[in-house]
Amino acid sequence: MITKLIEKAKKVFPGSDNFQAFFSPGRVNLIGEHIDYNGGFVLPCALDIGTFGIASPRDDEFISCYSENFSEIGIITFSLRDLEYRLEDNWVNYVKGVMKEIELTKGFNLYVRGDIPNGAGLSSSASLELLIGVIANTLYNLGLSNLELVKIAHKAENEFIGVKCGIMDQFIIGMAKDKSGILLNTSNLEHHYVKINLGDYLIIIGNTNKKRSLSTSKYNERREECEQGLKMLQKRFEIKELCELSCNDFENSQALLTDPIIYKRVRHVISENERTQAAYQALEKGNLVEFGKLLSASHDSLRDDYEVTGIELDSLQEFFLKHGAIGARMTGAGFGGCAIALVRSDEAEHLIEKVREGYKEATGLEADFYPVRVGNGARKL
């Protein structure tokens, strides 16, 4: 496939040579939801689907970009001396954003093809950002570390693109190791790798295809509720973030959380933080059954205590479990988006059809499904 992509790149950029191939994965957060802004642990992994880049260096200051996914746009070229955001430049603004943080005097030709489904919440933007960082770093021997590239990509997303996301997406894509997840402490970026040996199992991602019109307002509402809970608990505990508390501390502090809604929100945060660490331990021991139970418990907490699921995500999870998954949960912000399930490989096709039927009957919507495996981080091929 790489050979074919290089041949395509040569046709788009005739006269160019010395093409090199790169890949940057998509990602999914296996467990640890809505706790990144509370100083907690998350457990994401890179996927075996992502963004391919074929690039060759140039002798001038221009970068020319072409994407198979946006072929109708054609080639977009910009100067390294003119790195302004322009709406008409579409996806190429991500390239500009990264270039604004990396000082280059010479550009390159870039041919891109992504196989991350649009709108699936698998972080196609962070995948592209790390791809660009790795390409520039490799073509011009900049000597930047993976962590430096992660921080560059995160800054580009926050400041140039204007999306105020956390660092998890860029971190896992830039720092991932083959067939491993990362237990990441979002408060200080301490992290531990864990091999994910799925054996006879694979991960299925189900996209609800529900428009998430309420997600931004509800997301902000949940953050505010967590901040209120933190202030209540700070009357007794010297903590800066909710996830500094243990479940035992929380259970002994119920009297401080006088609002029942705030109590439920905080209970999710504290319990999810401990579930995520328990999931890491389960994966270290190769105990997929226990890992699956923790995934399902995470969804239950997100549904009952944090109230960010809704009928679509709840239906997907219910049908995943009904038809053989050993664990399933929503992933991402909620209110639509995706759910993940741990499923036997030889049962995946049959399970998907059964879940598809049940989900449509329950919601009237058609779900999309993506069987994926754990992959490696952004790299030259």
Gap between the Cα atoms of 333 and 314, Å rounded? 14
First-last CA distance in the chain: 12
Contact, 85 vs 66, CB < 8 A? no
Burial of 60 (0-12, 13-18, 19+ CB in 10 A): exposed
Could you tell me the two tokens for 340? 């993940």
Please choose, from the candidates 305, 308, 376, the residue with its C-alpha nearest in 3D space to the C-alpha of residue 339. Answer: 308
Note the helical H segments in the chain: 2-12, 92-101, 124-139, 146-155, 168-175, 215-233, 247-251, 260-284, 288-304, 311-322, 348-363
Active site residues: 169
Kindly state the DSSP code that residue 306 receives in the 8-state scheme: S
Q: To 5 degrees, how large is the angle CA 96–CA 16–CA 149?
A: 35
For 335, residues 6+ apart whose C-beta sits below 8 A from its C-beta are 210, 212, 214, 215, 218, 308, 309, 310
Classify residue 159 by its DSSP letter: I
Query: Measured on CA atoms in the order 330, 331, 334, 339, is the torsion positive or negative?
Result: negative
